[in-house]
Structure 1
C-alpha cells in the first residue's frame, strides 16, 4: 500500500460506530523487542484456575460495555462483535469454546488448524476452509488484509506484531477499522520489553473473551468442568517422591539431539502438564528455551534417564520428527534410557491451546504420565474409550452450544 493510500485512509471517515476503543498504550518502547514467547522461570500459578473478573464494566442505559485486559487496556464495545480477526490457534479455540466460531474470519494457517477434538463433541463444528490465511508465502500480515476483512475486533496482541506494525499503524488500524484485543505472551510469560505486561491463566483469558462476547455463563461452566476433572485427578496422585520423572522435548533426528522444555514452566502453554505435578527430569539442566539453552545429546538424555519422555507439540500434528522419536530404541545409547525400555515415549499436546484443547490435553497427559491410575493413553488420531474418559464430552458440547 502506497503512502498516498495510507494518508487517504487515515483521513477518511471509515471508523465504524459499532465499537469504541480507549486506554490502549501504544507509546514509545511498548512494541520493542518482544516477538519471542519462550519458556523460562518457575511457575507461580499452581492451580491455573479462574476467578470472577473485576475488569468488566457494563454501562447504564444502553447496550455498551467495556473489557480491560493487558496489554490493550480498556476496550469499549457498543455491542457484541459480529466478526473477528484471529491469527493464533489458541484464540480460535477460545472462541469455539464460547460458541462464537462463526464470527471468525481468519487464521494464521487455516489449513493446519486441528479440529479433531471438536469431532468428539456432538454438535460442535469449526469449518476453516473459507477463512482468510493471514500468513502466506509473500507476507506475514499486511494492513491491507485487515482493511479488506473489515472486522469488528482484531484478536491480535499488538505487542507481538512489532516489526510488522509500528505505533502509527496500530493507531490507524484502531481508528479506521476496529480495536485490538488479545494477550499472547501469557503462553510462557515470555514478554521481554520494558513496559508493564500482565500475564493471565488460560481460564482467566477465557473469562476475558467471554466478557467480549457476553457469554460469561459458558466460561464459568467450562471452568467448573476443568476444575472438577483436575480435582479428581489430583485426588489420585501419589506422593511427590513416588511420581515419575518426565522429560518434555523435541527430538532433532538429523543431529540426534533433544531440545528441552520446562515440563512445569509458567504460562498457558504448559496448562496440560504443569497441573499434574510430575517431576521434571530436565529441570536442573533446562534453562529458558527462548534464551537458546541448547540441546542435549543422546548420552546426556541417558544420564538424566527419565521414566517418561513426551515429544512436545506433535500429538495433533504427527510428522517425520515424531516418527523418528518413536524409533529411539534403534539407537545403541537411546535403547538404554528407562523410558525407551519401558515403552513410555509419547507424542504430547500443543502449547497453542485454548480451553477445549486443554481439556483433551490434560486428560491425555494424565494418561501418559500416570497410565496405572487413569488408563492407557490413545495413540495419535485415536480417541479415549467412553468408559475411560476423564470429562463428559456431551456436557462440554452443551456448554459450547449454550445449553447450560
Structure 2
C-alpha cells in the first residue's frame, strides 16, 4: 500500500484490523508484574496485573461478521478480519513464533536475517520435512516508517514500545502504521522485564515465552498448532523435573558471548524473562552468585574467580562461528586454562537468547545434556555443522511431532 493510498482511506483487508481504542489512548491494561516464564511443568504461565486485570487475550472473541479480537500488552485489543499471512518481525522470538505457526514463508522482515537464517537452520535441519528461508529479507533492527508502508504486512509482530526507543519513531508514527497498514501485536520487553519508555509505562505487561506464544497463536487462529507444540514442551519439562539432580548436586555455570575474545559478555541464567526460558527450568548454580548484571563485560580473571563447572557459549551453533577456536582461546591463555570448565572440556555452544518456541525446545534439550549428561545423556563435543543427530532413544522430545505441528499435519 502506498502512503497516498492510505491517506485516501483505500484500506486493504489488513487495515480492517484495528485497535479497540487502546493504541491511540495508551494501552490501558493491568499493571506490570514480575512473574516468571511459565517454565515449570505445573506452571500455566499466567501473569496478571497487581490489580487482577486482564493479562492479555489468550482467547479470541469472534464477532458475528467473522472478525475476531485478541489482546496483548502493550497495544491492547486488535481486531482481525482474517488470520494474518504476511508478518513483519523485528526480533527472532517473534519470527520463530510465526514460523512455528506455519507462517515462516510469510515473514517480510527480521533483524539480521542472513545471520539468523543460518543459525535457525542448524536446528531446523533436524525437523523432517520442514524448511526455513529468511535470507535476503529486510533487516528491521532500525525500521523506517516508509519501508513498513512498502512491505504492507498483515501484522507487525513487534513491540511498539521498543520501536519508539529509536529517535526516528514517535508514538504518532506507531499509531499511523497501526491504523493505515496493520496492527502492532508483539511484546519484547518481557525479555528481561525491562522498563518500558514513559509513553508505554502505564500498564505494560510481562509475559512468559509460551504465554505470549499462546496469545500470538490466537491472533493467527492457530490454536491447534499451539496446543500440539505446547504438549511437546509440557512432556519435555516433565522429563526434566523427573530426572534433574538435586540442587546440591548441580554444576555451576556461566553463559557468555564473544565475537572477540578480548571482549566477553556474561549473562545471567535465572533472571525473570524469556531470555532464560531454557536455562531457568534446569536450575544450574550461578557461578557468579549474582555478583554481575546480565550483559556485563568480563575477562578471564573474572571467569576464573567464579570458576564455573560449565561454560555455555552463545552463538556457538551459528555456522560462521569457530567453536574449536573459541575453546582454544581459553585453553591457551594462562588464566583461562585454569577454569574448571576448560580443564574438564565443558565449554558448550548455545544458540540465541531471543528464542521462540521451536528454538526453546532444542535449547532445553541441549542445555540439559550439557549440564547433566548422567541424567539426560551425553552432549556430543560440537565444533561445526547442524544440531547433532541425537540417537532417537536419547532425544528428550519428538522431532516428528514438532515438524507435524509446523507443517499443519495435526
Normalising by structure 2, report the TM-score. 0.84
Q: Deviations over 1:336-382 (max 9, x none)?
A: 21111111111222112111101111101001111122222231423
91-100 or 106-115: which moved more?
106-115
Q: Deviations over 1:25-81 (max 9, x none)?
A: 456899xxxxxxxxxx99575528546875434234221111100011100111111
Structure 1 segments of 4 or more deviating over 6 A? Answer: none
Q: Find the aligned partners of 2:182 and 2:147 in 1 and give their Cα distance.
A: 13
2:85 corresponds to which residue?
Answer: 82
Equivalent residue for 1:285, pick from 288, 291, 304: 291
Name the SS of the counterpart of 1:81 in structure 2.
coil
**Unmatched segments (≥5 aa) in structure 1:** 31-40
Name the SS of the counterpart of 1:190 in structure 2.
coil
**Unmatched segments (≥5 aa) in structure 2:** 29-33, 47-55
Give matches, 1:65-76, under 5 Å: 65-76=68-79
Taking structure 1 as reference, are residues 75 and 43 closer, same or farther at Cα in structure 2, changes over 3 Å only?
A: closer
Taking structure 1 as reference, are residues 51 and 103 closer, same or farther at Cα in structure 2, changes over 3 Å only?
A: same
1:151 corresponds to which residue?
Answer: 153
Q: Find the aligned partners of 1:321 and 1:397 in 2 and give their Cα distance.
A: 28
Equivalent residue for 2:40, pick from 36, 39, 47: 47
2:51 corresponds to which residue?
Answer: none
Q: Find the aligned partners of 1:369 and 1:375 in 2 and give their Cα distance.
A: 10
Native 8 Å contact 1:27 1:167 kept in 2: no
Q: CA deviation at 1:288?
A: 4.2
Q: CA deviation at 1:297?
A: 3.0
Taking structure 1 as reference, are residues 389 and 77 closer, same or farther at Cα in structure 2, changes over 3 Å only?
A: same
Taking structure 1 as reference, are residues 165 and 387 closer, same or farther at Cα in structure 2, changes over 3 Å only?
A: same
Q: CA RMSD in A?
A: 2.7
Q: Find the aligned partners of 2:85 and 2:260 in 1 and give their Cα distance.
A: 46
1:36 corresponds to which residue?
Answer: none
1:214 corresponds to which residue?
Answer: 221
Taking structure 1 as reference, are residues 50 and 102 closer, same or farther at Cα in structure 2, changes over 3 Å only?
A: farther
Q: CA deviation at 1:253?
A: 4.8
Normalising by structure 1, report the TM-score. 0.86
Equivalent residue for 1:272, pick from 278, 283, 293: 278
Q: Does residue 1:242 correspond to 2:244, yes or no?
A: no
Name the SS of the counterpart of 2:77 in structure 1.
strand
Q: Aligned pair count?
A: 380
2:312 corresponds to which residue?
Answer: 310
Q: CA deviation at 1:232?
A: 0.7
